[in-house]
Structure 1
Amino acid sequence: MDSTFPRTRKPQRGYNADQVDEFLQIARRAYDGSALPSDPPLNSERIRLTAFALQKGGYATADVDAAMERLEDAFAIEERQVAARLHGDEVWLAEARTTAQVISNRLARPEGHRFDRMSPLALGYRVRDVDKFAEKLTRYFRDGWPISIDDVRSVVFSTQRGGYRESQVDLVLDAVVDVMQAVR
C-alpha cells in the first residue's frame, strides 16, 4: 500500500501525515511478518479503531479512510485463514454465528430501546436514524437482505439530546463488520 495520499489545501484539515505514514509502516511490517519488537500488535480490529489527529494541509481523509478499510480487510482475511488452519472453518463460522445471534437479539429489541440512552442533557445518536439502520441490519441477518460492509462502515447518524449511547452503537456496528468479514 502506497503511503502517499493527496493533501488537503492549507486552510482545510486532513489527517496528520506523519501519524498516517508511521502507522502504515507498522502495518506493512506486521503484514509482511517483519514487525519490530517495538511495534504494537496489529489486527483488523485495531486498524478499525485507529484514529489520526487532524492538521491543516494533512492527508485527505476520504483517501486515507478507503486505504484503512482495504488494510482492515486484508488483515481480516489473513486472520480468518490462520484461525481456519488452527481450528478449522467450522469453529470460525460457529463463532461468527454466535456473534450474529447476539447482534440479532440486540436489534430485535423494541424501537427506541435497542441501546442505552444518554441523559436528556447529553448528545447521542438520533434514535430514529439508528433504529432505521437497525431494521436494515435485521433484514440482512434474518433474510439475507443485501447490505455491504461499506454501508455499515460509512453509516452516519445525526445526534439528539437523550439519544442512543454512541459507544454502544459503534461496538455493535464493529461486530457486524466482523461477522460480515467472517462469512465472506
Structure 2
Amino acid sequence: MKKLLLAAAFAASFTSVAQAADYVIDTQGAHAFIQFKVSHLGYSWLHGRFNTFSGDFSYDSANLAAAKIKLDIDTKSVDSNHAERDKHLRSADFLNVDKQPKASFVSTKVVPGADGKFDLVGNFTLNGVTKEITIAATKTGEGKDPWGGYRAGFHGTTSIKLSDFAIKNILGPASETVYLDLVVEGVRK
C-alpha cells in the first residue's frame, strides 16, 4: 500500500511539473496592452499607452505560485495621442528616454488568491530606479486557438508614484500616482 501511495504522489508531482509551459506575449497580434492614466491637475484624466514592449512568462495552472513573467517596455513608444505632450513625456522631465530607453518588470513571486485572482510581486525598473511593486491580477482564460496554438491570458492593475522613480516634474499631488492597466495574452512556445 505504501508503495502505491508513493507512486501516486510521484505521478501527481510529475504531472504538475509536466503541465508547466513557457509563453511569449502576443504583441504582434496586438493581444496585449500596457495602458496608463494619470490625473491632470486633479481636473481630468490623461490616458496613454506604450506601443512597443515584449516579454514572456511561465505558467502552470496546477501550480500558480511557480509562475514567472519578464516584461521589457520601450519607453520611447509612449503614446498619449498628442505629439507635443509625448515629446515632453519622453524628455528628462518624465521618462528620460535618452538615458533610460527601457522599463522592465521581473516577477519575484506569485501569491495565489481565490477565483483565479492573484498578486504578482516583482521588481519594476523605470528611469533607472528599481522598486518592488504588486500587480493585482486575474486569469482571463486559456485554451487552444484556431491556428493550432495554445494561449493563456491575464489582466492586471497596479499604481506607482512618480517620485519613487526619481521623476520630479509632478503637476501637484493628484498627478503623482500613475495607474497601470496590463492585458497579457501569451502563445505557448
After TM superposition, the score normalised by the length of structure 2 is 0.25
Q: Which has the higher strand share?
A: 2
Greater helix content: 1
TM-score by structure 1 length?
0.25
Larger radius of gyration: 2
